Amino acid sequence: MSDDSDSLGLRAALSIFGDMVQRRRQASRWSFLEVSEKTGIEIAALSDLEQGREALSEAAIERISEFLGLGPDVFSKLLRNERIKAANRAAASNDGRREIVVDIARYRESWQETTSQPKD
């Protein structure tokens, strides 16, 4: 996988995981302060996590996941799936670009043949 698809996969996984954490925290009526005190994760880091802006350490992700009842490996599964999706999208878009380049090259050749000056 390329670095771009890894990065895109990470951002997508963070966004999805952040939404999951936020929904579960709000459904349980936990404040940031309460979750912070129970998990040992700073309030700012929890806020960034819910907004999909920051990846916590693996241990912190496991703590918040277990505390909210999401399961310890939910983030790693999300990350793997989102990286695969990003890699597949990148591969599909690269295939499409190659076809367009070939079509343009073919068009250019036929255009040059039909628009060139007559030979003396």
Give 11-43 pLDDT, tens digit per residue: 889 999 999 999 999 999 999 999 999 999 999
Tokens, residue 27: 């459904």
Mean pLDDT over 48-63 rounds to: 90
Q: Which residue has the higher pLDDT, 116 or 57?
A: 57
Q: Which residue has the higher pLDDT, 73 or 97?
A: 73
- Name the nearest CA neighbour of 78 among 34, 8, 12, 3: 12
Cβ proximity of 90 and 2 under 8 Å: yes
Confidence category of residue 117, pLDDT binned at 50, 70, 90: low
Distance CA 55, CA 4 (A): 17
Confidence category of residue 120, pLDDT binned at 50, 70, 90: low
Cβ proximity of 20 and 70 under 8 Å: yes
pLDDT of res. 9:
85
pLDDT of residue 69 exceeding 90: yes
Q: Which domains does the chain have, with CATH numbers?
A: 3-114 (1.10.260.40)
Q: What is the mean pLDDT of the chain?
A: 82
